[in-house]
């Protein structure tokens, strides 16, 4: 301070100019601070570096705060335009940087990115609370909300107003100052704990490897799987050996085909022990703390449980509705699973074995039984499911339904060499958006499959913003001798995630806040799950499923086998999934958080629903990413809710024709393009004419 006072006015001018120059140079060197000159304005992944993120986050938050101040200080009467639309337009830079950063932190992360995430999380939490707890801003929104019926708003404008009003109320703006302070603390803690949970599980995924030295231990495995394991070993400096990991494309075929039961058990136990191991990556403490903080947050906001808080904005509305849905499916699913377990046990005994069926045996003997009963197994199908052919098959379905086309672009920057980019166009050539595909596992990518957007569609203020959407998966990789050949399950996953992508690409909304997949959690899976139906339709299979070596179309016998086996193992699949739904709901319907012991809690939940010992819940609490580091807390049931919707919705096509243009146009107009502009059930009824019932799903799964 003393040095500043001694500076002359000339020196001050020079210093000020220098600081401004440094600031401008810094901003010019940061790609987030200028409009991208890339094709279609996509993120310039080739020039974005880790050092750019934190300054861009800070500047984005500062810019939005200044924009909020302008809104609040507006001395004119509060209107929809100068308050609600202005709020919807704010934070453009912050939205840009966080969309890119969180995509990269999931799809291609590193230690530096994870450290940035830890730095940013509390800053974002504070920034978001500063907005939601801004009483002056809320008063203006509240004034508009109070006279909403007289404003002549469109349905979309009405929904935008309602969303923001609820954001503030559910964000705690009506709490007293002490409770607001505590809410801020909780939000900050949750932002860091959920981040740490995901980081720990990623490290657990990458830490384990099953190294095989004796070729005898590979007995039963398909040649392509063995080849991939050899390549994985060579990459890890273990040439001449074979390595299997906890990534699905490696683990799944091993559990299905490896005859060495002891090694199957070792790999399975490693998978279900993630987050439970006695090391610094153990997540049990995180689970208990997250659940307790969520309950406290809900209580602060006036709700008895966190589920009550979370479900208020979903189609299900309350926990009782969710449990009712789960119960309706659980009993018939469990009966079917018990019957399946007995059949597998009988097969074990027929082979002269005397052990009891265990979870690590189920995939192995189920695959054997499927082959014996339907003359069908994964090895027979994979040659017809080359990744690029399956992807092009999904593109062809979208073209026949909606007239859109996909043109590969090699002039668009990517963030990793395996990523491919496609320009999506209307039938008349009009640009729709950009679609990235990122299909193969790597240590820098979290497990699973997902869709996201680096830029959402919008046209607020008359400015057309086209979407930039990505699908990220972990599929079987190509080998030196063959392209990537997918399992039937992976084929379904590709179509599923592509359905999410269509939801983002075909969005036709005014506001970013309501665009694409910005819908209720238990509605977001409808566009994805309905696409899975086309994946195995005979007409579609014959179009894309061709042998990667000969070009032969998949034989009718295999198509028939796929159809005949559609009910096979449905008990297992449904029980495994539903058990995770119950676990999620139980964690979020607790009313007291003292002394939460994760193992005991989980065991109590599984005992209550009667889960049989031959099946392990799909996601145990310590690695339940959807719930403890994703956006599905008290919402994992959404997949089965969407199954009810998609089973009924697909019947609309079956009742006419698979590619009926009138039905397709209605689905696009009422579901895919509308985003969150109206209530989900209103949109669904407009498409289908009535509300769906669970009966169709039970029939589809073959449950009695």
Residues serving a catalytic function are 497
Q: Which residues of 44-66 are buried (b: 16+ CB within 10 A; e: fewer)?
A: bbeebeeebbbbbbbbbbeebbe
Q: Which residues contact 171 (CB under 8 A, 6 or more apart)?
A: 128, 129, 132, 133
Q: Contact, 305 vs 590, CB < 8 A?
A: yes
Is residue 255 within 8 Å of residue 247, measured between CB atoms?
Answer: no
What is the SS3 assignment for 465? strand
Rounded to 5 degrees, φ, ψ at 233 are: -65, -45
| Structure token digits, residue 406 | 């996909």
Residues in the chain: 704
Cα(331)–Cα(341) distance, rounded to whole angstroms?
Answer: 15
Please state, in angstroms and rounded to a whole number, the distance separating the CA atoms of residues 548 and 382.
9
Maximum pairwise Cα distance, the chain: 97
Strands 468-472 and 450-455 turn out to be antiparallel
Calpha distance 106→336 (Å, rounded):
37
Q: Distance (Å, rounded) from C-alpha 193 to C-alpha 191?
A: 6
Q: Please state, in angstroms and rounded to a whole number, the distance separating the CA atoms of residues 681 and 703.
A: 26
Instruction: Identify the helix (H) or strand (E) that includes residue 472.
Output: strand 468-472
For residues 137 and 135, what is the distance between their CA atoms, to the nearest angstrom? 5
Which of 442, 570, 108, 285 lies closest to 293, judged by CA?
285
Give the burial class of 16: count Cβ atoms within 10 A of its Cβ; 0-12 exposed, 13-18 middle, 19 or more buried: exposed
CA dist., res. 369 & res. 36, Å (int): 55
Q: Residue 574 contacts by C-beta under 8 Å, 6 or more apart in sequence? A: 329, 333, 336, 337, 701, 703
Measure CA 435 to chain center.
16
455 sits in which H/E element: strand 450-455
Cα distances (Å, whole numbers) of residue 293 to 431, 625, 628:
45, 17, 12
Alpha helices in 133-176 (DSSP H): 135-146, 155-170
DSSP state of 555: P
Dist. CA 47–CA 29, nearest whole Å: 10
């Amino acid at each position: 301070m003393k040095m500043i006072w001694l500076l002359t006015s000339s020196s001050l001018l020079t210093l000020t100019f220098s600081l401004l120059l440094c600031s401008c140079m810094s901003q010019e060197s940061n790609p987030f601070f200028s409009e991208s000159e890339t094709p279609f304005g996509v993120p310039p992944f080739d020039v974005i570096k880790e050092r750019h993120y934190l300054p861009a986050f800070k500047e984005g938050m500062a810019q939005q705060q200044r924009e909020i101040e302008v809104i609040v200080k507006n001395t004119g009467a509060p209107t929809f335009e100068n308050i609600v639309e202005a709020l919807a337009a704010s934070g453009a830079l912050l939205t840009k940087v966080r969309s890119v950063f969180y995509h990269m932190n999931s799809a291609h992360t590193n230690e530096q990115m994870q450290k940035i995430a830890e730095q940013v999380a509390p800053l974002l939490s504070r920034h978001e609370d500063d907005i939601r707890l801004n009483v002056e801003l809320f008063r203006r929104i509240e004034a508009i909300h109070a006279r909403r019926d007289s404003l002549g708003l469109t349905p979309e404008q009405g929904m935008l107003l309602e969303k923001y009003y609820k954001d503030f109320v559910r964000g705690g703006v009506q709490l007293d100052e002490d409770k607001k302070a505590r809410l801020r603390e909780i939000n900050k803690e949750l932002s860091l704990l959920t981040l740490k949970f995901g980081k720990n599980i990623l490290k657990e995924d990458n830490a384990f490897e099953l190294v095989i030295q004796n070729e005898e231990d590979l007995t039963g495995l398909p040649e392509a799987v063995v080849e991939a394991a050899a390549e994985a070993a060579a990459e890890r400096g273990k040439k001449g050996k074979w390595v299997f990991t906890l990534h699905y494309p490696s683990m799944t075929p091993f559990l299905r085909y490896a005859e060495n039961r002891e090694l199957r058990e070792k790999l399975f136990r490693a998978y279900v022990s993630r987050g439970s191991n006695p090391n610094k990556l153990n997540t049990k403490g995180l689970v208990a703390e997250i659940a307790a903080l969520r309950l406290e947050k809900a209580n602060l906001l006036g709700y008895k449980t966190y589920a009550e808080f979370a479900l208020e904005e979903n189609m299900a509305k309350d926990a009782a509705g969710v449990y009712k849905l789960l119960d309706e499916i659980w009993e018939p699913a469990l009966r079917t699973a018990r019957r399946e377990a007995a059949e597998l046990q009988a097969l074990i005994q027929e082979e002269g074995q005397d052990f009891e069926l265990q979870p690590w045996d189920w995939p192995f003997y189920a695959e054997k039984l499927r082959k014996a009963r339907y003359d069908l197994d994964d090895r027979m199908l994979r040659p017809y499911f080359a990744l690029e052919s399956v992807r092009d098959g999904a593109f062809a379905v979208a073209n026949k339904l909606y007239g859109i086309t996909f043109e590969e672009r090699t002039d668009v920057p990517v963030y990793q060499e395996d990523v491919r980019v496609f320009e999506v166009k209307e039938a008349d050539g009009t640009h729709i958006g950009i679609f990235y595909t990122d299909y193969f596992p790597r240590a820098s990518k979290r497990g699973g499959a997902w869709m996201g957007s680096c830029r959402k569609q919008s046209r607020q203020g008359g400015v057309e913003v086209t979407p930039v959407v990505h699908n990220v998966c972990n599929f079987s990789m190509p080998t030196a001798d063959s392209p990537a050949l997918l399992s039937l399950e992976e084929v379904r996953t590709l179509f599923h995630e592509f359905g999410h992508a269509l939801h983002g690409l075909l969005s036709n909304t005014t506001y970013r806040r309501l665009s694409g997949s910005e819908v209720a959690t238990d509605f977001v899976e409808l566009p994805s799950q309905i696409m899975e139906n086309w994946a195995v339709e005979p007409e579609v299979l014959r179009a894309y499923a061709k042998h990667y070596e000969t070009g032969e179309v998949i034989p009718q016998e295999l198509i028939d086998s796929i159809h005949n086996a559609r009910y096979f193992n449905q008990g297992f699949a449904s029980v495994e999934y539903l058990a995770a739904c119950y676990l999620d709901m139980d964690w979020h319907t607790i009313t007291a958080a003292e002394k939460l012991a994760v193992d005991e809690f989980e065991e109590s939940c599984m005992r209550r629903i009667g889960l049989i010992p031959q099946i392990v819940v799909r996601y145990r609490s310590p690695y339940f990413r959807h719930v403890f580091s994703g956006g599905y807390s008290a919402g994992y049931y959404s997949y089965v809710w969407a199954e009810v919707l998609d089973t009924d919705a697909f019947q609309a096509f079956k009742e006419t024709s698979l590619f009926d243009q009138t039905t397709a146009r209605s689905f696009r107009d009422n579901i895919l393009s509308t985003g969150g502009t109206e209530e989900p059930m209103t949109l669904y009824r407009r498409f289908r004419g009535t509300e769906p019932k669970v009966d169709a799903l039970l029939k589809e799964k073959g449950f009695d």
